[in-house]
Amino acid sequence: MKNEAYETLVKKLREKESATRDTVTKKINNMRSSFRKEMKKVENSKKSGAATDDVYRPSLWYYDQLLFLRDQETPRTSSSDIEEDVIEMDCKSTSQPGASRPLPLPPAKQSRQPGPSVSNKADEVLGIIGDKLLGARDEDEYDLFGKLIARKLRKVDDEQRKFAQK
């Protein structure tokens, strides 16, 4: 079933650009990575004791569709923000065309037959991901730099942020 799903995604992505299973795998892993970062922001916001209205709201359009991954994700520890930014940029730059980097997969769960609702949900998510992959493009160094600046701006107080944006 997994191989069939990958083949379906490869065919869907080929409608827009040349694609291989490796390309699809990299795109999926990039989406999972973004999901993990958003999930970490939500969890940290909840742990900080923020009021219900102040809890971080994810900006990813597919965050809610990937919530089923929550139990499979284990956060990575980092000793500093600088190290995390460098690792993040390094990981994303290796996902550029021509670069190859093995990505770890989540630990396998005990085999069990999914019920019809799980199977339908998986088909729905695969369809959504396939549609979005068609419109996706690989991030370049300018996208990464913009995200790094945005991340740093979020850590600055409001007044300093206004000056920096001007």
Residue 110 lies in a domain: no
Residue 90 lies in a domain: yes
Number of domains in the chain: 1
Of 149, 148, 140, the closest CA to residue 84 belongs to: 148
pLDDT of residue 159: 86
Of 148, 152, 150, 153, the closest CA to residue 163 belongs to: 153
Domain holding 74, by residue range, is 2-99+115-165
Dist. CA 65–CA 110, nearest whole Å: 23
User: 1 and 118 in contact (C-beta within 8 Å)?
Assistant: no
Q: Is the pLDDT of residue 11 over 80?
A: yes
Q: How sure is the predictor about 30, in pLDDT bands with cuts at 50, 70 and 90?
A: very high
Residue 46 lies in a domain: yes
User: 161 and 153 in contact (C-beta within 8 Å)?
Assistant: yes
Residue 105 lies in a domain: no
| pLDDT winner (highest mean) among 62-66, 75-79, 162-166 | 62-66
pLDDT, tens digit, 9 for 90 and up, residues 99-154: 444 445 555 544 455 555 666 777 788 888 877 777 666 677 887 888 888 888 88
Give the mean pLDDT of the chain.
75
Residue with tokens 């493009």: 137
Map residue 126 onto helix, strand or coil.
helix
Residue with tokens 């460098």: 86
Look at the alpha carbons of 115, 116, 119, 120 in this order and tell me if their dihedral is positive or negative: negative
Residue 107 lies in a domain: no
